[in-house]
Structure 1
Amino acid sequence: MANILVVDDEMGIRELLSEILGDEGHVVQLAENAQQARLARQEAKPDLVLLDIWMPDTDGVTLLKEWQRDGLLTMPVIMMSGHATIDTAVEATRIGALNFLEKPIALQKLLKAVQQGLTRTPEPVRPAAPALRVISSDHNHPSLTQGGIQASSGTFESRQFNAAPAAASAPANQFASLSFDLPLREARDAFERIYFEYHLNREGGSMTRVAEKTGLERTHLYRKLKQLGVESVKYAKRGE
């Protein structure tokens, strides 16, 4: 588990990255501008920073230079931008950025860059934080949980197995309550909500396995759950 700081002025991107990295078991802090990033860097000493280039107060490259000048660039920094030029990316790398990700960021590229950043230097030992959810020991897990704590695979699997019978019986009751008098769109949303809740419950909140079971690409799965108002975190909690 690592402490990751996400700096981006777009709320949607902050939320998505927080969800994905959180589901990977990392503690995620969010900052919407350079000033908040400075305070977070000072107070939390993050293990890795995802830093947007274009921000309203101070751009990411300037903030990177500032940290480098003041001896604060002690953690890997991954730059992000949807409009940066090659020259900007080269400059950020020259200053000390570890990597550069172009928006929209592909999920696998994000996870690979984060993994590379965290393994570049030994991760500091941290006291165990209260677990908000159990994270699968499958390191291919897709997701951006806050305060999650990873469980051993044996413990996770046994709890998941014991929860399966309850997970299987719940949808039957929910499907029985569906009304055929609903408009098609509402009926479809209701069905999909029950469908995804069933798989989340059955897989102990593992977004990787839910994506595999439902045949969805994981970024699409996150968006679908958000659209339907399904909170994946509460199903992960049930697996604790």
Structure 2
Amino acid sequence: MANILVVDDELGIRDLLSEILNDEGHTVQLAENAASARAARLESQPDLVLLDIWMPDTDGVTLLKEWRAAGLLTMPVIMMSGHATLNTASEAARIGAQDFLEKPITLQKLLKAVQQALHRDPPPAPKLASAPRPVTPALTAVTMPLAGHPQAPAVQPDPAPTGPQSRQSFDLDRPLREARDHFEKTYFEYHLAMENGSMTRVAEKTGLERTHLYRKLKQLGIDLSRNRKHSQAA
């Protein structure tokens, strides 16, 4: 997961973004103005910055220009504003902003913009010439069949199933309600494991709203803290 710096002079916006991003497993730093943002940028070197345009001391576009001039714009920056004009957004993009989010920021737009910014293509690494790998006699003996004795390709047995699928079993002699609860618990635990504990992706996979999903998991007795710790460790 990523280290994300959130810069906004509104406490409510900082708290909301911090809660959402922490829930996704990211590490979040908060800055209430440009001065705090400068210090946090030099101290922690974040992987991504969410930067408000209108701030009381220095506006976000000016701070973006400072970072670029100083060679500090080495991370993607997503600009945020509720009152920015098209010209302001275009100027930020020209300077080097990765994206622009208009307030109020929806959950889907935020997570999509963060995912795209964090997965931008890095600059191509220089290609180094490498010598061809020599073929050892042992390898030749394995891959080359003997004359007159064609060698059939080896058939590898399928690996034993692992992961949540291998542990799924259902007792059909149970009462219907107990069997249904057992199935639903197994179903959600499977998706939580497959999505590394991300509630957003599980909600998308299962077609449930996040609030409904939280209530359902709590009702089924699923330990969310364990899944969140597993996601952060991954």
Q: Normalising by the residue count of structure 2, what TM-score does the alignment of the two structures yield?
A: 0.58
2:9–2:56 contact (8 Å) kept in structure 1: yes
Q: Show the counterpart of 2:224.
A: 236
Deviation, 1:19, is 1.5
Q: In percent, how many aligned pairs have the same letter?
A: 67
Alignment of 1:1-240 (within 5 A): 1-122=1-122, 157=164, 207-208=199-200, 209=202, 215-216=208-209, 218=210, 221=211, 236-239=224-227, 240=230
Structure 2 distance, partners of 1:14, 1:52, is 10
Q: Show the counterpart of 1:175.
A: none
- Code of the residue aligned with 1:73 in structure 2: it is L
Larger Rg computed on CA atoms: 2
2:54–2:81 contact (8 Å) kept in structure 1: yes
- Code of the residue aligned with 2:199 in structure 1: it is M
1:206–1:236 contact (8 Å) kept in structure 2: no
Identify if the C-alpha distance between structure 1 residues 96 and 236 changes in structure 2 by more than 3 Å, giving closer, same or farther.
same
Aligned pairs, number: 163
Structure 1 distance, partners of 2:203, 2:115, is 22
Unaligned runs of 5+ in 1: 123-153, 162-168, 170-198
Paired residue secondary structure (2:84): coil
Deviation, 1:23, is 1.8
1:7–1:32 contact (8 Å) kept in structure 2: yes
- Code of the residue aligned with 1:207 in structure 2: it is M
- Code of the residue aligned with 1:58 in structure 2: it is T
1:5–1:30 contact (8 Å) kept in structure 2: yes
Tell me the C-alpha RMSD between the 2 structures: 3.5
Higher relative contact order (CA 8 A, sep 6+): 1
Structure 2 distance, partners of 1:82, 1:13, is 12
Q: Normalising by the residue count of structure 1, what TM-score does the alignment of the two structures yield?
A: 0.57
Identify if the C-alpha distance between structure 1 residues 60 and 210 changes in structure 2 by more than 3 Å, giving closer, same or farther.
same
Structure 2 distance, partners of 1:114, 1:210, is 18
Structure 2 distance, partners of 1:238, 1:79, is 33
Identify if the C-alpha distance between structure 1 residues 210 and 120 changes in structure 2 by more than 3 Å, giving closer, same or farther.
closer
Q: Show the counterpart of 2:157.
A: none
